[in-house]
Structure 1
Amino acid sequence: MSGSQAELLARGRAVLEQQPFSQLLSARLDAFEPGGATLSLPMAARLLQQDGFVHGGVLAYLADNALTYAGGSVLGPALTSEMKINYLRPVVGEGRLVAVATVVGSGRTQAVCRCDVFLDNEGGRQLCAAAQGTIRKA
C-alpha cells in the first residue's frame, strides 16, 4: 500500500470512528482506495430478526456506507443520494459480513457505485445482497 493509500485508509477509519451507529455495530473499514471501499462487521445475535436471519437493515447499512465511501474516494466528502438493494438470500451463520463497493462511473459532483454484501466465514464468501447507489458531493 502506498503512502497516500495508507493515509486515505487512516482518514476513512477516522471518519468511521465518528459515526455512533457504525460503532454500535462494530463496523470496520478494511480497505479504502480511489474507486473502492470494503466495510465489514462481525455477525452477532443483536443483528438478527425474529427468524434468526440478519436483519435487512444491517445489510442495507453496510451497502449504504460502503457505497458512500467508494463514491467519496473520488468525490471527497459525500452523501448518498439514492440506493437500491436486492436481498439475495437470508443470512445465517457465523463470520463477518463484508461489503465491497466500487465506483462504476463518476463526474465532478456525483458517482454511481455498486456493492456486493457477503457472509465471509470458513466456508468462503457467500453473496447475500447486491446494491447500487448514486453518491453526491457534500
Structure 2
Amino acid sequence: MLAFGRQILASQPFSQLLGAELTQLTADGACELRLPLRPALTQQYGFAHGGVVSYMADNALTYAGAVALRVPVITSEFKINYLRPAVGEGLIARSSCIHAGRSQAVTRCDVFAVQDGVEKLCATAQGTINVLPAPKA
C-alpha cells in the first residue's frame, strides 16, 4: 500500500515542489505525510504558510479516503481549524477515515509542527472525499 501511495505522490508536481514524503499508508487508511519546512514555505512571521498546512491536510485526507473507497478519488470539500502557528523543522499530517460509503468518504486529519523533535498540534481538518467520475468517452 505504501509503495502505491508513494507512486501517486511522485506523480503530483506540486507535492514534489514542496518536498512532501508519504511515510505511512495502511490498508485501514491510516496515513502519515511529512514535509520539511524551509524558508520558502513560510510567511512573513516565520510560520509555515497556511496554504502549506492546508495542503498537508488536504492530501492526507484524500489518501485516507482513497484507501477506504479503493478507487480514484478527489476532495470535494474540507474544513480546517488552525490551532497555533506551525513553527519548526517540519510538518506531519496524520489522517484516517471516519466513514466510507459507495461514492464518498468522510476523513479527518491532524497536522503537527515538529520542533526539536517535539510535535505540537497546529491544525485539524475534516473532509469529504468523492469517487472520481469515470472519463466520458
Give TM-score scaled by structure 1 length: 0.90
Equivalent residues in 2 for 1:101-116, closer than 5 Å = 101-116=95-110
Match of 1:73 in 2: 67
The partner residue of 2:47 within 25, 50, 53 is 53
Match of 1:15 in 2: 8
Aligned mates of 1:10, 1:52 — CA distance in 2: 33
Contact map agreement 2:65 2:107 (CA 8 A) in 1: yes
Match of 1:126 in 2: 120
Contact map agreement 2:113 2:121 (CA 8 A) in 1: yes
- Structure 1 unaligned segments of length 5 or more: list them: 1-7
List structure 1 runs of 4+ shifted beyond 3 angstroms. none
Percent identity over paired residues: 56
In the alignment, structure 1 residue 97 sits paired with structure 2 residue 91: yes
SS at match of 1:61: helix
Contact map agreement 2:57 2:111 (CA 8 A) in 1: yes
Alpha-carbon displacement from aligned partner over 1:16-72 (angstroms, at most 9, x marks no partner): 000000000000001011222111100110101112111000000000000000000
1:30/1:105 CA distance change after superposition, 3 Å:
same
The partner residue of 2:25 within 32, 35, 46 is 32
Higher helix share: 1
**Structure 1 residues 31-40 or 61-70, which shifts more?**
31-40
CA RMSD after TM alignment: 1.0
Match of 1:5 in 2: none
Aligned mates of 1:105, 1:51 — CA distance in 2: 37
- Structure 2 unaligned segments of length 5 or more: list them: 133-137
1:11 maps to amino acid: F
Match of 2:78 in 1: 83
SS at match of 2:88: coil
SS at match of 2:84: coil
